[in-house]
């Protein structure tokens, strides 16, 4: 009950931080309950304490800080709130090295809210970040504007020196062999995963072995064993050894970048050694429970952290798996350790199956085999990298140790290739309903603890059934209306575009897949579109249309192809040397999706619905780059309703397609190019006279989309405007006569 009270209070403080309230008083839109965007402001001189050492992320430096004061006018205001700051420009290594955890900085910071995507089924990333400790994002124009005004305490400075030494030794003895090996060594030694490429991270996640490069129980156990062994060599044993081991583990947890898994393992080890020092014996279940209780008191918001759930779930599964594996020892003798390892690995996979599906939308069976390799390899990486770090002044020792760490890291990464050879061993899945998860764990508990034969058989059947549902057997979807309707959903994908067309009789087409305008950022395909489509009951797509190759339309295509395997891929004008397009074509080939290049005049009719391609014309010259005016333009007509999807075309193309347009009773325009002033021309609007306009634009985007010019033109023809930056996901449903508009923020408009 105390933990619940602490968690509720911590949750409110995290979501309604004082830095948000102060900024909202200065300019509106910073409160988390508002749709946003937050208004723009001049940089504010801010004082902050670094939570982690600075890390390079591409062309900028990232700082995780706790803001303690902000200057408004000439007055400093005390505030609280975690902020991740991006430092633009080129920063010298010597200056970056001064930005260490525990130190206090002053810098002019421009604050903004994290991206959020308001769609059914998509997590609120901004709220999740706030609960994880990052309430806002910030930008500093140059590292030259950052001043270190106070060093950290004694232990903070010592810890930073140790981390710096580890990074230096890893760079000297492991990085020359391979940067990925160095990144893995840094991850298992000090919890620094900033150097790990996204491709490697995703491969390990798909293989179910990503957890081994996160410092957790295995790393703490190795350190505890090493400390105990070294102490015994110098004749320190018993209570004295236990007390020294407690000090070593406590110091290590403070040195590294600690998360819930580290604190859980550290608390359990400290409790174990404390019990030894007091000559007390207790079961592992008890120490795990006490560790959980202590974490809830000290860090109450960790109870909702994926690391907390995974580390305690895995620990309890291992304890039960070891108990069950012990029964096999008398039967199989020398192979008992292999059997025990397999049983323990299987226990973890079973215990965490719904958790993995819920938190990561992924289930994998590869981890059952790969963990038997990955866990020992992680141990080799850790021990060898630690040896290279400690023996840094002695090349004869550090050199071979660095090579061994590199070889083990490469073997760890290489083991993940099993997923490539056996793609069926892992799958992306929708997050299962709460009822399915509850039924799964009830059946699992009954199977373990119920002694009667018949109830255990029933529980086993129920467990298998829930497993099949979680791992991909289609769930029951909403019953389709007896009326045949066309439904169009414009997803909120930020400064990008993606529209789902659900035709009568269940046929589906996804037009574009969102993405960041300049690439990078959130993986919109896997983290936004996939859960949004699953929430719509979509498990596969009939057609994926990429209107053109700009990253804000193409960016999520790889994930959509992998997760939904469309029956066909439509594209416009080919750009032969465009790498992102070539990647999409390669992905389509892997999932055996045929590609069709659409041209003006082609049509697809059926179910009283007609889809026509109005643009592009057949190209008469080879494109060297992606052009907005090469966008595929579609017209969809259903009964008395016409929908015009214009991609990013300019007013020149709008004039070309005017003679082809259908003048239905009700006309809906998807505004071109996110509301740019170069589109939605007076000619198109005054001639076709759409009654409704849909605009996809990012909240607070730097392009100023939609522009005031376009909004005034739409207002002049009395069009009703819906915008994803204000309304979130927009759904249009029609039977060919009546139209129903619904948005994520619950506005509703009916048109007869």
Range with the poorest average pLDDT among 361-365, 623-627, 685-689: 361-365
Nearest in space to 646 (alpha carbons), one of 638, 605, 721, 655: 655
Average pLDDT, the chain: 87
Please count the other Cβ atoms lying within 10 Å of the Cβ belonging to residue 215. 28
Judged on CB neighbours under 10 Å (0-12, 13-18, 19+), 579 is exposed
d(CA 304, CA 534): 23
The CA–CA distances, whole Å, from 681 to 553, 674, 708, 737 equal 22, 13, 13, 27
Q: How far apart are CA 387 and CA 391, in angstroms?
A: 6
Instruction: Give the burial string for 362-382 (b: 16+ CB within 10 Å, else e).
Output: ebbbbbbbbbbbbbbbbbbbb
pLDDT band at 475 (very low <50, low <70, confident <90, very high): very low
Average pLDDT for 338-356? 81
The average pLDDT across 438-465 equals 89
- Predicted pLDDT of residue 507: 87
H/E stretch holding 389: helix 366-390
Residue 328 has pLDDT above 70, yes or no: no
pLDDT band at 520 (very low <50, low <70, confident <90, very high): low
11-38: average pLDDT: 90
Report the distance separating Cα 3 and Cα 475, nearest Å.
36
CB 211 within 8 A of CB 187: no
* pLDDT attached to residue 203: 82
Summarize the confidence of residues 232-261 as an average pLDDT. 80
pTM given for the model = 0.86
Between CA 370 and CA 360 the distance in angstroms is: 19
192-201, 333-342, 435-444, 655-664: the lowest-pLDDT one: 333-342
Question: Please, which residues have CB within 8 angstroms of residue 212's CB and are 6 or more apart in sequence?
Answer: 188, 204, 218, 371, 374, 375, 377, 378, 412
* pLDDT-derived band at 478, boundaries 50, 70, 90: very low
Joined together, the tokens standing for residue 300 give 């109450």
240-254, 416-430, 469-483, 721-735: which has the minimum mean pLDDT?
469-483
d(Cα 680, Cα 625) in Å, to the nearest integer?
Answer: 24
Catalogue the E-assigned strands of 531-582.
543-546, 568-571
Helix (H, G, I), strand (E, B) or coil at 665: coil
Domains within the chain, CATH numbers bracketed = 2-152 (2.40.50.730), 158-428 (no CATH), 434-470 (no CATH), 486-751 (3.60.15.10)
Q: What integer is the mean pLDDT of 501-530?
A: 86
Q: What is the DSSP string of 85-118?
A: EEE-S---HHHHTT--TT-EEEEEEEEEPPP---
Q: Does the structure show a pLDDT above 50 at 607?
A: yes
**DSSP letter for each residue of 123-134:** --HHHHHHHTT-
Percent of the chain with pLDDT over 70: 94
Q: For residues 188 and 260, which has the higher predicted lDDT (pLDDT)?
A: 188
Higher-confidence residue: 324 or 243? 243
Rounded to the nearest 10 degrees, the angle between the axes of helix 179-190 and helix 366-390 is: 90
In this structure, the number of other CB atoms found within 10 A of the CB of residue 149 comes to 11
Q: Which pLDDT score is estimated for 477?
A: 47
- Ranking 7-16, 125-134, 317-326 by mean pLDDT, the lowest is 317-326
41-79 residue pLDDT tens: 999 999 999 998 998 877 789 999 999 999 998 899 999
The 10s digit of each residue's pLDDT in 303-315 is: 877 777 877 787 7
CB atoms within 10 A of CB 361: 19
Query: Which of 206-210, 511-515, 617-621, 678-682 is predicted least confidently?
Result: 206-210
Residue in the structure block whose two tokens are 């723009």:
40
**Residues forming beta bridges with residue 653, ordered by sequence position:** none
Confidence of residue 388 (pLDDT cuts 50, 70, 90): very high
The predicted-structure confidence for 155-202, as pLDDT tens digits, reads as follows 889 999 999 999 999 999 999 999 999 999 988 888 888 788 878 888
Name the percent of the chain lying above pLDDT 90. 52
Which residue reads 């007013």 in tokens?
A: 651
Per-residue tokens: 159:
């810890």
Q: What pLDDT score was predicted for residue 333?
A: 57
In terms of Cα–Cα distance, which of 675, 705, 699 is closest to 493? 699
| Contact (CB, 8 A) for 129 and 114 | yes
More confident residue, 537 or 547: 547
Query: Greater confidence, 90 or 131?
Result: 131
Q: Residue 171: how many CB atoms within 10 A of its CB? A: 15
For tokens 């739409």, name the residue.
Answer: 714
103 or 425, higher pLDDT:
103
Asked whether the predicted pLDDT for residue 481 surpasses 60, the reply is: no
Residue 679, classified by CB atoms within 10 Å of its CB into exposed (0-12), middle (13-18) or buried (19+), is buried
pLDDT at 743 exceeding the cut of 70: yes
Confirm if 645 and 670 have CB atoms less than 8 A apart.
yes
Quick: pLDDT tens for 541-598. 999 999 999 999 999 999 999 999 999 999 999 899 899 999 999 999 999 999 999 9
Of the two residues 319 and 751, the one the predictor is more confident about is: 319
pLDDT in tens, 78-109: 999 999 999 988 778 888 989 999 999 999 99
Tokens describing residue 79 = 């505030």
């Amino acid at each position: 009950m105390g933990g619940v009270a602490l968690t509720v209070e911590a949750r409110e403080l995290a979501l309604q931080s004082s830095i948000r309230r102060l900024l909202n008083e200065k300019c509106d839109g910073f409160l988390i309950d508002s749709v946003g965007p937050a208004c723009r402001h001049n940089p504010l001189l801010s004082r902050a304490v670094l939570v982690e050492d600075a890390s390079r992320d591409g062309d900028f430096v990232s700082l995780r800080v706790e803001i303690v004061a902000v200057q408004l006018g000439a007055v400093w205001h005390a505030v609280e709130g975690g902020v991740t700051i991006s430092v633009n420009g080129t920063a010298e290594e010597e200056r970056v090295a001064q930005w260490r955890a525990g130190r206090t900085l002053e810098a002019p910071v421009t604050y903004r809210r994290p991206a959020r995507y308001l769609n059914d089924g998509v997590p609120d990333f901004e709220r999740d970040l706030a609960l994880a400790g990052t309430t806002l994002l910030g930008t500093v124009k140059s590292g030259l504007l950052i001043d270190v005004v106070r060093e950290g305490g004694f232990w903070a400075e010592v810890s930073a020196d140790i981390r710096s030494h580890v990074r230096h030794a890893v760079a000297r003895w492991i990085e020359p062999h391979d940067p990925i090996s160095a990144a893995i060594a840094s991850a298992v030694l000090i919890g620094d995963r900033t150097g790990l490429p996204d491709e490697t991270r995703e491969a390990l996640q798909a293989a179910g072995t990503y957890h081994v490069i996160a410092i957790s129980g295995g790393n703490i156990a190795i350190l505890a064993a090493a400390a105990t062994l070294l102490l015994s060599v110098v004749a320190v044993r018993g209570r004295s050894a236990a007390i020294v081991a407690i000090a070593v583990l406590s110091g290590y947890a403070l040195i590294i970048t600690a998360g819930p898994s580290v604190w859980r393992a550290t608390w359990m080890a400290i409790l174990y050694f404390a019990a030894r020092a007091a000559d007390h014996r207790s079961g592992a279940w008890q120490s795990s429970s006490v560790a959980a209780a202590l974490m809830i008191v000290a860090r109450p918001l960790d109870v909702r952290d994926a690391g907390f759930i995974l580390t305690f779930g895995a620990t309890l599964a291992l304890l039960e798996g070891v108990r069950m594996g012990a029964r096999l020892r008398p039967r199989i003798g020398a192979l008992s350790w292999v059997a025990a390892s397999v049983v323990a690995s299987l226990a973890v996979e079973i215990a965490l199956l719904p958790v993995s599906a819920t938190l990561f939308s992924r289930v994998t069976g590869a981890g059952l085999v790969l963990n038997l390799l990955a866990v020992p390899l992680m141990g080799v990486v850790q021990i060898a990298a630690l040896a290279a770090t400690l023996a840094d002044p002695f090349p004869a020792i550090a050199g071979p140790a660095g090579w061994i760490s590199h070889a083990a890291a490469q073997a760890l990464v290489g083991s993940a290739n099993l997923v490539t050879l056996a793609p069926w061993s892992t799958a992306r899945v929708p997050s299962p309903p709460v009822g399915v998860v509850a039924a799964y764990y009830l059946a699992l508990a009954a199977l373990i603890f119920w002694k009667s034969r018949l109830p255990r058989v029933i529980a086993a059947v129920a467990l298998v059934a829930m497993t099949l549902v979680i791992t991909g057997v289609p769930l029951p979807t909403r019953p389709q209306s007896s009326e045949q309707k066309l439904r169009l959903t414009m997803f909120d994908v930020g400064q990008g575009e993606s529209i789902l067309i659900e035709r009568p009789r269940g046929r589906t087409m996804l037009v574009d897949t969102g993405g960041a305008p300049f690439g990078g950022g959130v993986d919109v395909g896997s983290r936004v579109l996939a859960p949004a489509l699953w929430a719509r009951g979509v498990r596969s797509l009939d057609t994926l249309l990429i209107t053109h190759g700009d990253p804000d339309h193409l960016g999520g295509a790889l994930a959509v192809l992998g997760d939904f395997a469309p029956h066909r891929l439509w594209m416009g004008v080919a750009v032969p040397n465009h790498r992102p397009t070539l990647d999409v074509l390669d992905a389509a080939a892997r999932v055996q999706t045929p590609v069709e290049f659409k041209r003006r005049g082609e049509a697809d009719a059926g179910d009283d619905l007609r889809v026509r391609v109005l643009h592009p014309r057949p190209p008469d010259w080879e494109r060297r780059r992606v052009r907005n005016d090469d966008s595929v333009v579609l017209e969809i007509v259903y009964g008395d309703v016409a929908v015009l999807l214009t991609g990013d075309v300019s007013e020149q193309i709008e004039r070309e397609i005017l003679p082809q347009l259908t003048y239905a009773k009700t006309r809906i325009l998807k505004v071109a190019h996110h509301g740019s002033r170069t589109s939605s021309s007076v000619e198109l609007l005054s001639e076709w006279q759409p009654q409704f306009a849909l605009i996809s634009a990012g909240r607070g985007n730097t392009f100023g989309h939609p522009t005031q010019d376009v909004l005034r033109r739409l207002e002049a023809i009395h069009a009703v405007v819906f915008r994803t930056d204000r309304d979130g996901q927009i759904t249009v449903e029609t039977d060919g006569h009546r139209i129903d508009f619904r948005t994520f923020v619950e506005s509703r408009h009916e048109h007869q």
